[in-house]
């Protein structure tokens, strides 16, 4: 089994640098998700690993082999495409067998391998059907079958679920997760959907504007985002970010939001910025409305969005939109009377107002 290593990987189109010298090491068996907004360079990075885009600078290593000049077919990777890339004129069995036939695998072996993969993916009853006669989820399974059947060193997924509806997407997400557990093949998965990233990944790579913002496990990214971009990208709804002024003392700093005061965790970085503006980040989940703790902040409730077991309270905190996520059970009837919240100071993040980088966090 092989890992994948990107060293100072660059992609340039003319003068435009779309991937800016990124470094990343994917361990063998690992499931890594590249996530970021459209145009952040995540798909381009994946396509450079696959060999579909020329590499402008740096190196891609698969296993212990630098593959910059290796043809896609010899890299031993398999790719699953967003729009499935199934051959409309071939039935499911022939679609799955395509790569094997191109490689001149013996007939009886092809048949055996296709049957095996179809079994894994639950496609056996559909082997004679054409893609046009399949549902979206089935097509996506065929696309994965094509990748699996070749037993590649690395799986590459390019937004494979974005053409599916929400329900099917969560089903397929679970299926991909199960499949990875079963096959245990190094996988690199590109998506713009942070929920997919959170649920599938061993590690998430957040990309923005051609560069890597942060690499970490889903919970690391959720709890300790290194900057406002990651804070705003991971989590649904994303972390609330409010402009505030630091005051108080270096041992007991507080954030001045409008005319309200919010206690902050003490740190040297925060103390250094006494009197300066910062961005304060509070996760919607961390705002407590039912048993108010110390120094509650007053908010103006605008809208309650009920999601079932949870509700989103759209409020305004010092004229800035602020979202609170809370449980509905037991409290549902009082939700529309919420006027304040409190938050554990240790769950508050403080970011530099200019660079957006987190303050007072080890390794940041």
Partner 1 sequence: MQSESRLSKIGYHLRREWQIYVMLLPTIIWFIVFLYKPMYGLQIAFKDYSIFRGVDGSPWIGFEHFEFLFSNDQFIRAFWNTIIISGLNLLFGFPAPIILALLFNEILHATYKKTAQTIVYLPHFISSVIIAGIVITAFSPSVGIVNTVLGWFGIDSIYFLTKPEWFRPIFVGTGIWQEAGFGSIVFLAAIAGVNPSLYESAVVDGANRWQMMWKITIPSILPTILIMLIIRIGNVMEVSFELIILLYQPATYSTADVVNTFVYRQGIQSGQYDFAAAAGLFNAVVAFVLVMIANTLSKRYSRTSLW
- Site of interaction with partner 1 (CB under 8 A): 50-52, 72-74, 77-79, 81-83, 85, 87-90, 98-99, 102-103, 146, 150
Query: Look-up: residue for tokens 């010899």?
Result: 74
Q: Which is nearer to partner 1, 41 or 235 (CB)?
A: 41
Quick check: 115 and 123 in contact, CB under 8 A?
no
Closer residue to partner 1 (CB): 52 or 353: 52
CB atoms near residue 339 (< 10 Å): 11
Alpha-helical runs (H) found in the chain = 42-50, 92-102, 107-121, 136-148, 166-183, 194-200, 218-223, 228-233, 268-272
Are 48 and 70 in contact by the 8 Å Cβ rule? The answer is no
Minimal distance in Å, beta carbon 38 to partner 1? 17
Q: Which is nearer to partner 1, 72 or 232 (CB)?
A: 72
Whichever of 80 and 204 has its CB closer to partner 1, that residue is 80
Residue closer to partner 1 (CB basis): 131 or 225: 131
Round to whole Å and give the CA distance between 44 and 40. 9
Tokens encoding 324: 């609170």
Beta carbon of residue 152, minimum distance to partner 1 (angstroms, whole number): 9
74 vs 305 by CB, closer to partner 1: 74
> SS3 of 94, please?
helix
Nearest distance from C-beta of residue 154 to partner 1, angstroms: 11
Residue 173 CB, nearest distance to partner 1 (Å)?
21
**Measured from the CB of residue 47, what is the shortest distance to partner 1 in angstroms?**
8
Quick one: 117 or 335, whose CB is closer to partner 1?
A: 117
Q: Rounded to an integer, what distance in angstroms lies between the CA atom of residue 320 and that of residue 318?
A: 5
Tell the smallest beta-carbon distance from residue 77 to partner 1 (Å): 7
CB of 113 to partner 1, least distance (A): 14
The smaller minimum CB distance to partner 1, of residues 131 and 248, is found at: 131
CA–CA distance, 72 with 54 (Å, rounded to integer): 11
**Cβ of residue 61: shortest distance to partner 1, in angstroms?**
18
Question: What is the sign, positive or negative, of the torsion defined by CA atoms of 222, 224, 226, 227?
Answer: positive
Tokens of 8: 């100072």
320 burial class (0-12, 13-18, 19+ CB within 10 angstroms)?
Answer: middle
CA dihedral 244, 37, 321, 247 (to 10 degrees): -10
């Amino acid at each position: 089994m092989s890992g994948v290593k990107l060293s100072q990987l660059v992609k340039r189109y003319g003068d435009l640098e779309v991937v800016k010298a990124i470094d990343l090491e994917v361990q063998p068996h690992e499931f890594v998700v590249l996530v970021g907004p459209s145009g952040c360079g995540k798909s381009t990075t994946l396509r450079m690993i696959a060999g579909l885009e020329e590499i402008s600078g740096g190196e891609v290593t698969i296993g212990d082999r630098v593959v910059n000049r290796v043809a896609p077919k010899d890299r031993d990777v398999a790719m699953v495409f967003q729009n499935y890339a199934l051959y409309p004129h071939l039935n499911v069995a022939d679609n799955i067998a395509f790569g094997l036939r191109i490689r001149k695998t013996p007939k009886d072996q092809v048949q055996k391998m296709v049957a095996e993969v179809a079994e894994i993916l639950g496609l056996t009853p559909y082997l004679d059907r054409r893609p046009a006669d399949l549902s979206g989820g089935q097509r996506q399974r065929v696309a994965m079958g094509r990748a699996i059947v070749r037993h590649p060193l690395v799986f590459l997924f390019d937004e494979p679920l974005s053409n599916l509806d929400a329900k099917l997407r969560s089903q397929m997400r679970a299926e991909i997760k199960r499949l990875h557990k079963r096959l245990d093949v190094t996988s690199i998965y590109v998506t713009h959907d942070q929920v997919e990233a959170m649920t599938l990944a061993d590690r998430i790579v957040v990309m923005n504007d051609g560069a890597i913002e942060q690499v970490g496990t889903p919970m690391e990214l959720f709890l300790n985002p290194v900057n406002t971009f990651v804070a705003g990208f991971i989590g649904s709804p994303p972390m609330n970010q409010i402009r505030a002024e630091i005051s108080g003392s270096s041992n007991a700093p507080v954030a001045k939001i409008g005319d309200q005061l919010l206690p902050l965790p003490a740190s040297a970085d925060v103390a250094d910025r006494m009197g300066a503006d910062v961005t304060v980040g509070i996760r919607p989940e961390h705002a407590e409305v039912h048993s108010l703790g110390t120094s509650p902040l007053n908010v103006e409730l605008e809208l309650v969005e009920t999601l079932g077991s949870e509700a989103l309270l759209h409020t305004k905190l010092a004229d800035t939109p602020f979202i609170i996520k809370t449980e509905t059970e037991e409290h549902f009837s009082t939700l529309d009377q919420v006027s304040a919240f409190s938050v554990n100071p240790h769950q508050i993040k403080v970011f530099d107002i200019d660079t957006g980088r987190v303050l007072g966090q080890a390794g940041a």
